[in-house]
Amino acid sequence: MKAYTYIEKGKFALTDKPRPTIQEPTDAIVRVTLGSICSSDLHIKHGSVPRAVPGITVGHEMVGVVEETGADVRGVKVGDRVTVNVETFCGECFFCKHGYVNNCTSPHGGWALGCRIDGGQTEYVRVPLATQGLNRIPDGVTDEQALLVGDVLATGFWAARISEITEEDTVLIIGAGPTGLCALLCVMLHRPRRIIVCEASAARRDFVRLHYPDVLLTTPEECEAMVKVHSDHGGADRVLEVAGAKDSFRLAWRCARPNAIVTIVALYDEPQVLPLPEMYGKNLTFKTGGVDGCDCEETLRLIAQGKIDTTPLITHRFPLAKIEEAYRLFENREDGVIKVAIYNE
């Protein structure tokens, strides 16, 4: 089968690999019907993920059909259409039982697929701990509707949930890339008084304006003044920092009102600074950490009910045979791309 493979720093290539087989009774084999490219894949390509193993098939955003299950797999069966969670987790350790599956203590736990073991930019994938890692797609929900459930939508859902948003709040979202847009969709579920999106790219601001016309828009340069004008207490009640740009962390806490919650969703290439003398008296609560992708069943239910729709984010589609072209477009942010779907012919 064809598999897009991490060869070495700076190089991915489409290679031939044998079809995976069951290795543990908790495994499942999934025939990949649709996948996507994540910015984390680019981090692997450029050597920013030290734990990534050369030779692995990349990709961790995918949906497919269960082809085979190990003896201990529960909840899904052969023939089921499923989403695949970016995280592998046991469901039994202290962290899993408290919903912090990103911190699973299993040797297989955490981000494994497409990083430490073969992922989904291929035809078939082995999913460890499949009882926890697979969710059946409801009838009537298409592959494209479900494609982002296991990673980028899970990130947005988690970020909105831990931000403790109320209907009285002004919520600022910094960054309108794929993760920021998924965070926006999930923040909207909480029906806050107003939502402000800060985005540097004019094309992405236009995307938000087209699809979510009730959202207020601003640029990083105008953000702080804009937030003060459109908030009730001198700043945003909740800030979700999803950009990960050079100055976006500082912008996030500066735009927050005293006693606000600032949720750090972004990844940074450099350490960030907490200038405590400047922040004294703001009494901010910061929430950080990786996505806890344990709400996929709920997000699938919301998609089936028409309350979440990520399909506008899928702007381009390519067959697996043209995945290098898809990567080039995605990495260079060409042609208004947000997310790319990769399908098997």
pLDDT tens per residue across span 125-146: 999 999 999 999 999 999 999 9
Query: Same structural domain for residues 35 and 57?
Result: yes
Query: Same structural domain for residues 129 and 33?
Result: yes
Q: In angstroms, rounded to a whole number, what is the distance separating the alpha carbons of residues 8 and 45? A: 8
- Longest Cα–Cα distance in the chain: 60
Cβ contacts of 108 within 8 Å, gap of 6 or more: 88, 90, 128, 129
Query: Same structural domain for residues 298 and 283?
Result: no
Q: What is the pLDDT of residue 271?
A: 87
CATH number of the domain within which 140 lies? 3.90.180.10
Query: Same structural domain for residues 138 and 179?
Result: no
Cβ contacts of 9 within 8 Å, gap of 6 or more: 45, 46, 47
CATH number of the domain within which 194 lies? 3.40.50.720
pLDDT over 90 percentage in the chain? 85
Query: Same structural domain for residues 42 and 67?
Result: yes
Domain end residue (candidates: 287, 314, 332): 287
Whether residue 269 has pLDDT greater than 90: no
| Other Cβ atoms closer than 10 A to 103 | 17
Q: What is the pLDDT of residue 54?
A: 97
Could you tell me the two tokens for 157? 């859902």
Query: Same structural domain for residues 189 and 311?
Result: no
By residue range, what is the domain housing residue 31? 2-151+292-343
Query: Same structural domain for residues 14 and 135?
Result: yes
Q: What is the pLDDT of residue 115?
A: 94
Could you tell me the two tokens for 227? 């937030």
Could you tell me the two tokens for 230? 């459109």
Residue 2 sits at the vertex; the CA angle it makes with 15 and 322, to the nearest 5 degrees, is 90
Average pLDDT, the chain: 95
Domain end residue (candidates: 242, 266, 287): 287
Q: What is the pTM of this model?
A: 0.94
pLDDT over 70 percentage in the chain? 99
Beta bridge partners of 66: 30
pLDDT tens per residue across span 32-72: 999 999 988 998 999 888 899 999 999 999 999 999 999 99
Query: Same structural domain for residues 62 and 74?
Result: yes
**In the chain, which residue ranges form alpha helices assigned H by DSSP?**
39-45, 94-97, 130-133, 143-146, 152-162, 178-188, 202-211, 223-229, 248-255, 276-279, 296-304, 323-331
Q: In angstroms, rounded to a whole number, what is the distance separating the alpha carbons of residues 15 and 52? A: 18
Q: What is the total count of domains within the chain?
A: 2
Query: Same structural domain for residues 81 and 207?
Result: no
Query: Same structural domain for residues 6 and 63?
Result: yes
Query: Same structural domain for residues 10 and 144?
Result: yes
Query: Same structural domain for residues 74 and 167?
Result: no
